[in-house]
Structure 1
Amino acid sequence: MTEYGRGSGSEPWHPEDPLFGDGGWRGQQANAGQQSPYDGQAQQQYPQPQYGDWTQGQQPGYDQQQYQYYDEQGQTHYAGQNAGQNQQYAAHTQQQYQQGGWDATGTHGHVPYAPDPGDPYGQQPVAYGGELPDFYGTEDAYPPPQPPGRRRPEPETVPGQGPGPDPETGWDPGEDQGEHAFFAGGGDDEDDDEAESRSGERRGKKPVKSKKRRTGCACMVVVLVFGGGLGGVGYFGYKFYQNRFGAAPDYTGDGTNEAVTVEIPKGAGGWEIGRRLQEAGVVKSADAFVHAQGQIPRGNTLQAGAYLLKKEMSAASAVELMLDPKSQSNVLVKPGERNAEVYQAIDKQLDVAAGTTQKVVKTSYKSLGLPSWVRSDGEVRDPLEGFLFPGTYPAAKGMKPDAILKQMVTEAKSKYAAFDLQAKAKALGMDNAFQLVTVASLVQAEGKTHDDFRKMAEVVYNRLKPTNTETNQLLQFDSTYNYLKGTSNIHISEKEINGNRNPYNTYTHKGLPPGPIGNPGDEAMKAALNPTHDGWIYFVATDGTTNTEFAKTYAEFQQLKDKFNASSGN
């Protein structure tokens, strides 16, 4: 609300205001013989102009309305109100203005401007208080007038509603209107603090706490989120760089005193070996092992088997130790080697009592995965003979004998299945695949070189033929008798051989022995499946070791036998 007559908060009317014609406010003051309050310094109370016959009483043409004002002593004065509308002004004539005390000399009346269609206030009362009386300073005013020296009380806020209109300006943002972000702390913090403090002092209230805390918390959240994002990006960027360009994680030194056995399967490459070493705690990363394997000579020649290593070794130390045979904890099955020798090697490698593995075979050989066509009757000395396929197998302290044997049997079963022994046995005149493995074991035991194997296979098949009149289907192999005896003698007397009637003695029993006499390798098996067809039926190791010669007739055989006796001193 604008306080009329107090000299503050209201802007003076313009001298060219059309409401009063060309004469303006200055002309009226001149006619009235008084000084305009706007020509000098602002005063606390404006003097009331006199307009000729217009007095403080009721005036015609103005709806007979009056308004009151107060001086500083609180006395009431009445003045005619200018409460008419624009249409009423338009009805006044020049004569009416002259009757009101206006001097028309040199001046003439003007018809007020027509209301502007775009002006929303064009049809409203043109003066303050035109429709409603002014209750300022009366008991009906709100707020009631205050005695000198007291401040106006703050308007109370109704719970659930907004604070109401501002007592100074009269502006009410409405109960649904919140503070703009600029006024709610979006501007300068220091300015907000000072404004709040001054407002609190002026209103007689406690200074409002600074909104820095709210703004500071928001800034802190932004910093934390932004910092966390940068940290995440930095971490993943570092990991990407390390994985792509950085050195692989690695230990240093030769490792701790804690030993560990690592089993490397057959066919494992560098990554697989490195992964197993990392899982066992030997190396820190598979990447470091692969890198070291490529840098060290012969690093890529590592074989399958069990290795006795140390924990927390550098990758380079691990590769070098694995190349040392002393670190390998394996059992090697050589082509043609008998099972009895393999059992002894397993016992020694596992550091168990002699004969332990042999006992396991007797009690649990059926659970090791043998093919269904294996013969296991009472004549077969060892049902596993011929099924511990040649190769290197992990065998370290703490492992079980049956676990090692099962690996060997599994390998043999896989190899024999690949050769399709069941179908090939029929084509070669054998009853079953088990007999074909037995032939391969004979070829492996009697042959000395790769070139001998196919000829030796033909000798076996020719001697087994019913049409064989040279040996009458007797194989007459020293290797079968030596297997029976568990020996490897070359010089066996005819008396000794002919006096033994065991089925494994092929000098006294026709046909094949009950089962294999050793573990044939790939070459011997291939030779048994693809023998020569040259008519070989005799052979003699003329030097007693590696030089084997073959003959087709008995006469040729006698010549080879004489050669053997001459070389051996018989």
Structure 2
Amino acid sequence: MTEYGRGPGSQPWHPDDPLYGDQGWGGQQAGAGHDPYGQDPLGQDPLGQQPYVQDPYGGQQYPEQYPQSQDYQQYPQHGHQPYPQQQWEGQGHEGGYPQQPQGEAQHAGGWDPGYGATDPTDPYARPADPHTGEHPDHYAAPGAYPPPEPHYARRQQDQQPGYAQEPVAAGAGAAAPSSPAETGGGPTEPEPSEQDDRIRAFLAGDDEDDGPDEEPGRGRRNKKPKRRSGLACLFTAVVLVGAVGGGGYYGYQFWQSRFGEPADYSGQGTGQVTVEIPEGAGGAEIGRILTDAGVVKSSGAFVKAVEDSGKFIQPGSYTLRKEMSAAAAVEMLTDGSANGLTIFEGMRNANIYAAIDKKIGLKAGTTADVAKREAKNLGLPDWADDNPKIKDPLEGFLYPARYNVGKGTKPEAVLRQMVKTATAEYAKYDLAGEAKKLGLDSPLQVINVASLVQAEGVTHDEYRKMAEVVYNRLKPDNSETYGKLQFDSTYNYIKNQSKTDIGLDEIKNYDNPYNTYFYKGLPPGPIGNPGKDALKAVLNPTHDGWFYFLSLDSKTTKFTKTYTEFQKLYNEYKNQKKG
């Protein structure tokens, strides 16, 4: 018996059957008694008892039933159940092949043994119409469920473009149910092909909530695309582009920082900016300072430019330009004419103050007033300014060196830097201990002697001999000068001049603590700013007994031990001047 009740036995399918033309997997119609799906070619019971007919949809074989009486004979049992139990949809039977209910079913007053009679044992047989004798197709009735379709048929239909899922009707004029209410049944699951459509629609971004938009004559819904899905795609694209762009940017920065040339400006820059380079700063630190000030674009470019130039950058204050190339910045930092302020050895404070005013662009006398007012706040060592008669406490502490002073720099900042340099240089020596060895009263007197020899001498050898002259004349019991130094340089310091031809009457009768012709001993304080050579010479004088010296040509100095020898030199000097 087949699923649609095509009569007893293995009869050919009726042409009106919706599955008419099923040629089987091999492409040919199976004959009676043959399994169309490649099983037992004789259609026999696996145990050799009864012929079988293959159910093309359930995958099971069922015994071919022949018309029998109401009390039909069941198949014998062979120690196992030949019919697998399954749930038959719509029949309400469980436990295998559905059984005919006990008792005879009434049909319009009893069984019709004549034309159109149905087999009472066939649960799928269609009773004949009592007037026409035809077997009606219940699937063709309005609201009826469509007959099941083979899974391969659904696959083929789903693959056809533009296929509309419409219920397959067995007869003409059948209408597809539009809702469970119209069929008279409860909720039903969608056909597999409709589920596939829904999955495809979901993946394609169709909006299931937009409602149907059916075209005439078509059963498939044309879904409207989700607006929010488009926005989501746009947002995703933007995120992806941002991620790729950001990753590329940071990747480029990483590559550039490791292997590329450091970022740099070009040209000489514009405007002005003042920067302070601290003592002991290296190239990388200076580069960071200039980068923060907007002078150069990167510290790496500046360090490379310094290495290429081979020059050394002095600490100090500089006036530079904004957005300069690193090479231009290095050139400007090492160009003395642009920012450099050089303090020469033996230079007096009065001249230094005037130079600072000119470099910064201040009114003359501004730095001198600051020095007088702020002397105690500029970092002098505690042994400085130990004599109330000192003319300028900063004298001897504005250390000779090259300083970088830019426009806009404050005078006190420049003075503080100079004092700091001098203190650091003097700290390299044990001035207190050396003072005792030399018969001096304090470290300040060591600096004082150094300033004297610096003012009178030219070379290191001259400095050493002049230092011995100072120490010999400072001895109170010497019979040559009796404790007086008699240096013309001290009188010139008072007058802020540099004369070599000073009359004896003028210089001996001028009363001033710094006049060593008038007062015995050292002046109250240094008369200039000695350099390194003069200081070393003072700490290591000669011991040859020198008392006098005279420079004949302002280039070479000659020394004598007695006044008589000195007088001869002096007469020689007078004759040279007359000639």
- Smaller-chain TM-score bracket: 0.5 to 0.7
Map residues 408-423 of structure 1 onto 2, 5 A cutoff: 408-423=418-433
- Who is 2:25 aligned against? none
Deviations 1:359-384 (A, max 9, x none): 22222211111111112543111111
Separation in structure 2 between the aligned mates of residue 191 and residue 353 of structure 1, nearest angstrom? 84
Query: Helix, strand or coil: the match of 1:393?
Result: strand
Map residues 93-492 of structure 1 onto 2, 5 A cutoff: 111-112=77-78, 114-115=80-81, 125-129=95-99, 146=143, 149-152=174-177, 154-155=179-180, 166=189, 184-185=199-200, 189=204, 207-209=222-224, 226-256=240-270, 258-264=271-277, 270-292=283-305, 300=311, 303=314, 306-319=317-330, 325-326=336-337, 328-375=338-385, 377-492=387-502
Q: How has the CA–CA distance of structure 1 residues 461 and 210 changed in structure 2, closer, same or farther, with 3 Å as cutoff? A: same
- Structure 1 residue corresponding to 2:545, chosen from 532, 535, 553: 535
Cα offset for 1:492?
A: 2.0
Amino acid at match of 1:259: Q
Farther off after superposition, 5-14 or 225-234: 5-14
Farther off after superposition, 127-136 or 452-461: 127-136
- Who is 1:24 aligned against? 51
Q: Name the TM-score, length of structure 1 as normaliser.
A: 0.67
**Structure 1 stretches lacking a partner, 5+ long:** 27-36, 39-46, 62-81, 83-88, 91-110, 138-143, 157-162, 170-178
- Who is 1:106 aligned against? none
Separation in structure 1 between the aligned mates of residue 466 and residue 512 of structure 2, nearest angstrom? 23
Separation in structure 2 between the aligned mates of residue 167 and residue 379 of structure 1, nearest angstrom? 116
Deviations 1:85-127 (A, max 9, x none): xxxx55xxxxxxxxxxxxxxxxxxxx5352499x887xx7331
Cα offset for 1:502?
A: 2.0
- Structure 2 residue corresponding to 1:546, chosen from 546, 552, 555: 555
Q: How has the CA–CA distance of structure 1 residues 336 and 198 changed in structure 2, closer, same or farther, with 3 Å as cutoff? A: closer
Amino acid at match of 2:297: K
Deviations 1:157-180 (A, max 9, x none): xxxxxx9762668xxxxxxxxx99
Separation in structure 2 between the aligned mates of residue 416 and residue 232 of structure 1, nearest angstrom? 57
Q: How has the CA–CA distance of structure 1 residues 485 and 183 changed in structure 2, closer, same or farther, with 3 Å as cutoff? A: same
- Who is 2:5 aligned against? 5
1:504 aligns with 2:514: yes
Contact 1:292 1:315 (8 Å CA) reproduced: yes
Q: How has the CA–CA distance of structure 1 residues 199 and 376 changed in structure 2, closer, same or farther, with 3 Å as cutoff? A: same
Q: How has the CA–CA distance of structure 1 residues 301 and 416 changed in structure 2, closer, same or farther, with 3 Å as cutoff? A: closer
Separation in structure 1 between the aligned mates of residue 101 and residue 565 of structure 2, nearest angstrom? 153
Amino acid at match of 1:478: D
Separation in structure 2 between the aligned mates of residue 547 and residue 357 of structure 1, nearest angstrom? 36
Cα offset for 1:324?
A: 5.2
Farther off after superposition, 282-291 or 480-489: 282-291
- Computed over aligned residues only, the root mean square deviation of the Cα atoms, in angstroms, reads 4.9
Cα offset for 1:453?
A: 1.3
Separation in structure 1 between the aligned mates of residue 403 and residue 545 of structure 2, nearest angstrom? 40
Separation in structure 2 between the aligned mates of residue 212 and residue 485 of structure 1, nearest angstrom? 96
Separation in structure 1 between the aligned mates of residue 206 and residue 376 of structure 2, nearest angstrom? 94
Farther off after superposition, 381-390 or 217-226: 217-226
Amino acid at match of 2:568: Q
Q: How has the CA–CA distance of structure 1 residues 16 and 460 changed in structure 2, closer, same or farther, with 3 Å as cutoff? A: same
Q: How has the CA–CA distance of structure 1 residues 561 and 189 changed in structure 2, closer, same or farther, with 3 Å as cutoff? A: same
Separation in structure 2 between the aligned mates of residue 567 and residue 189 of structure 1, nearest angstrom? 114
1:557 aligns with 2:572: no
Percent identity between matched residues is: 45
Q: How has the CA–CA distance of structure 1 residues 421 and 232 changed in structure 2, closer, same or farther, with 3 Å as cutoff? A: same
**Structure 2 stretches lacking a partner, 5+ long:** 7-16, 23-31, 36-41, 56-63, 87-93, 106-122, 127-140, 145-172
Separation in structure 2 between the aligned mates of residue 333 and residue 190 of structure 1, nearest angstrom? 82
Cα offset for 1:488?
A: 1.6
Query: Helix, strand or coil: the match of 1:408?
Result: helix
